[in-house]
Chains A and B, each alone.
Chain A
Amino acid sequence: MSTALAQNRGLGAMIWDYLTTVDHKKIAHLYLVAGGFFFLIGGLEAMLIRIQLMKPDNDFISAGLYNEMITMHGTTMIFLAAMPLIFALMNAVVPLQIGARDVAFPFLNSLGFWLFLFGGVILNVSWFTGGAPDAGWTNYAPLSTVSPGHGVDYYVMGLQISGAGTLIGGINFLVTIVNMRAPGMTYMRMPLFTWAVFVTSALILFAFPALTVGLFLMMFDRMFGSVFFDTAAGGNAIIWEHLFWIFGHPEVYILILPLFGAFSDIFSTFSKKRLFGYSAMVFATVLIGFLGFMVWAHHMFTVGMGPIANSIFAVATMAIAVPTGIKIFNWMFTMWGGNIKMTAAMLWSVAFIPSFTIGGMTGVMLAAAAADYQYHDTYFVVGHFHYVIVGGVVFGLFAALHYWWPKMFGKVLNEKLGKLAFWPFFIGFHLTFFIQHFLGLMGMPRRYWVFLEGQGLEAGNLISTIGAFLMAIGTVIFLVNVVYTSVKAKKVSGDPWDGRTLEWSIPSPPPHYNFTQTPLVRGLDPLWVEKSEGKKGMTPAEPLGDIHMPNASILPFLISLGLFIAGFGFIYQVDNKAWLILVFLGMGLTLGSMLTRSLKDDLGHHIHKEELEKDLEKGAGE
């Protein structure tokens, strides 16, 4: 069902369409809206944190609420904003870049989204039911296991459900990229964004199970009386830290690698040059992904692992700077000798280089294990990871959204407003976080509800808060731009940027079968190869024929809804066993839906040659 058709049938039909869709392009829209919404919530929480820290001994929010705020800010931004926004890009772009008509498992793709969304909703419901989780996004035991109320239970259930969605998504993209590439699209011809998503998906596959295990142990400790983390009963609290960071460190690469890929595509497109050192870039991406699993304990230098372990993890961590440096230099040499067009997407990408380099530098400083005894758990660390996550991931998301917006929605985001949003955000970002390195070294630990007067921390904190407001202004201007563009902007052609990769060879937004005929890939930057030979589009690899597409289904929504309901049952059965009814109801719905899926054959549908020819006449295939 095409979007235009759905709109004609009214709002109800459109909602039903989105609830049941298995089309990767529409799932990208869902991820974008949900991730964007959580990004705003996480941003609001950040603003409240910065207002609280505006002056010494402030009592704007209470100590308990403050801890809930920092916990939810971190958890929301990582799991509910950055991850889904990245999944939005993956869904919108990867099948198009490899010349596929959808992902390998469209049903699972939809399931992944709904699991993530319901998990995120569970987490945020906690605000209204007596308190959000308050043990930090890292949720260290035993603070988390003894945390009163149900906040941490919500954390456990919410992340478990949304984590399952992420894991499913990761597997889906691995299979998609391995199996669904168009003829001629060898591994070493894949665009860097696809390569990065490939590596990221592998990281998800190996990293998320560690979180799953940790969350299950935590769940049993809190809800069913086990003592995995209870030292008084022979448990061990440090195990949680290891499980969390075995997941948590690869997680930061899961976040940044896809944006590295996006930057590579953007630098190349707007410099009108092929990526400098393509194979080195691919190698560096894989190496970062590999090394990302070897360094988790650098988050734990002060736990008391001893000098040998600390030294090993210090040197391993430093090693990651090498492939990252390779990337920075290759990006700069991609622009070297190019014809740089400073679009909004390019502006965010260009700003990323120095910002991320600073984050990488402080990363190497933190890797020096002994020196970390001073940096650890201070605002130095807060400064560092915001430099990589905001300066890398958020800048990357803005850049990628500007770049692929026309492909997703058929309209180019307003360039003037785009640049207007950039400047306050960029300046505000450096104001907020640069000073925090110094605050940390001057003796301000992170997660401090108040800082005291007379410790020399007043000016730095005020500057940081002012910067945060500038970032908020930038974000608001970006939102205005989205609305303005959707109302005012004109439709554009399939290739507004003079693109180089396959996604630009089809209309914007693409028809729901993407490629009328699967394209034949004849080199790196396939569209550019054709253009440089004077051709207008791709050469088809197959004759025009019927296209097999998957059917829409409400089952993924129902499976996720069942787990959502069961989640509340698990949380509250601790108080009263009557709540177990919800567990049975919810799990019944989930398992019933899964059974339906297994027993009922769903063979999909065909789009006939005649319809495709009609679409072609309307100009869909130009």
Chain B
Amino acid sequence: MRGWMGKLRAFFIFSALTLLLTGCGVDNLSALKPKGYGSDLLFDLMMISIAIMLFVFIIVMAIYTFVLIRYRQKKGQEDFIPKQTEGNKALEVIWTVIPIILLLVLAVPTVQATFDLADESTKGDEGVTTIEVTGNQYWWHFGYPDDEISTSQDLYIPTGERVYLDMKSSDVIHSFWVPSIAGKMDTNPGDNDNTMYLEAYEEGVYWGHCAELCGPSHSLMDFRVIAVSPEDYDQWKEDMQNVDPEATAEAQEGQELYENNCMGCHAIGDGAAGQGPNMTNFANRTKIAGVIEPSKENLMDWIVNPEQFKPGNQMPANLVSEDEASQIADYLLELDHSDVGASASEAEVEEE
């Protein structure tokens, strides 16, 4: 009977906690509002551990409060010498064994989840997407080697299926984190490459952060994960494979300037991570450089003086004049090759 009551109480604590904590943070950013397989699994693990810890904490606080009220020195008792107790074997055993049991209860789901998230059994199977993620100071390169697509900053994935990420870094250690979909994983330089998987439940634009100190603009190395339905994803891939980088008449000069000044670092089309972000679908991106609101004016400011937005980034200032920047911006803003995901991005902008 008591065991049953205990379970019920634990259940109540558990659900109350869940309700309380899911109120925290912004949609598509907070780890407390899980929207993917990994974050969901980890949220449950988190709740189990909080429930166990709260149970312990309540017991400690009950004893603590009682002791402090009951045994605090009272007036006139200054000289009272209490009994010099040496200890109590039974009590020692109790507060050794019960924590061990509680920790075992926590250890089992922990080990399960750890192995679950490291599972790579379907990697490389027919129809399973594997994306190459490369961290760079301070931007992200995303390569789709099977589909010959390269892009930066916005990572497109299909919903409802596992997408594997092969992760490395081209310079210092970074850490790839999309809290509302999955936990984080470091991107290391050299041969220490990592693999993790993402599985988003629903369509949306999810915030991603760099979580390992990587230099002055560490806090500005944001990116987005754009999850779209599998059909839209196929459409996006097709759009990206058939990119026509030729400018319209108005942006001809911009394209020339781009090819002369920018192309050395910023590729358009498929290719390995270069010196700077790939620009293939630049005009579709949710932000300029991961953090700046997209507008022509902001883009011009960024091109002329990137340092004022992202201190310590590699792009030189004043490479082009303001007029030239304006023409380049005109060209870049034409690089919108796919409508996929646009509706989701707009919805998110309104929400903010």
Contacts and interface: CB of A to CB of B under 8 A. Distances in A.
Nearest to A273: B82
Contacts of B46: 365, 368, 371, 374, 441
Interface in A453-510: 454-456
Interface stretch (A43-51, A300-308, A548-556): A300-308
Contact of A142 (B50, B95, B96, B171): B171
A338 interface: yes
Contact of B209 (A66, A370, A445): A445
A455 B26 contact: yes
A372 B73 CA distance: 44
Interface string B41-76: 110011001101110110011011001100111000
Given A371-B110, A445-B177, A455-B29, A364 B53 contact: yes
A67 B179 CA distance: 24
A176 interface: no
Contacts of B60: 328-329, 332, 353-354, 357
A525 to B, nearest CB: 9
Contacts of A62: 216, 311
Contact of B189 (A237, A353, A371): A237
Contacts of B92: 277, 280, 326
A450 interface: yes
A278 B86 contact: yes
- The range of chain B's interface size is 35 or more
B32 A441 contact: yes
Interface string A314-333: 11001101100110111011
A134 B31 CA distance: 29
Contacts of B26: 442-443, 454-456
Contacts of B179: 374, 441, 443
Contact of A318 (B31, B45, B107): B107
B4 interface: no
A506 to B, nearest CB: 23
B216 A315 contact: no
B25 A442 contact: yes
A373 B196 CA distance: 11
Interface in B91-108: 91-92, 95-96, 99-100, 103, 106-107
A304 B84 contact: no
Given A441-B24, A455-B207, A272 B81 contact: yes
B291 interface: yes
Contacts of B111: 311, 314-315, 369
B211 interface: yes
Nearest to A148: B312
B127 interface: no
A156 to B, nearest CB: 17
Interface in A46-67: 62-64, 66-67
Given A314-B110, A329-B60, 10 more contacts: A231-B189, A231-B190, A236-B192, A329-B95, A337-B83, A338-B82, A364-B103, A368-B45, A374-B42, A443-B30
Interface of B: 21, 24-26, 29-32, 38-39, 41-42, 45-46, 49-50, 52-54, 56-57, 60-61, 63-64, 67-68, 71-73, 77-78, 80-88, 91-92, 95-96, 99-100, 103, 106-107, 109-111, 113-118, 171-173, 175, 177, 179-180, 182-186, 188-194, 207, 209-220, 222, 291, 311-312, 352
Interface of A: 62-64, 66-67, 134-136, 140, 142-143, 146, 231-232, 235-238, 271-274, 276-280, 302-304, 306-307, 310-311, 314-315, 318-319, 321-322, 325-326, 328-330, 332-333, 335-342, 350, 353-354, 357-358, 361-362, 364-365, 367-374, 376-378, 438, 441-443, 445-452, 454-456
15 contacts: A62-B216, A62-B311, A63-B219, A140-B172, A238-B188, A307-B114, A315-B107, A318-B103, A325-B96, A336-B63, A361-B53, A364-B53, A370-B116, A371-B113, A456-B26
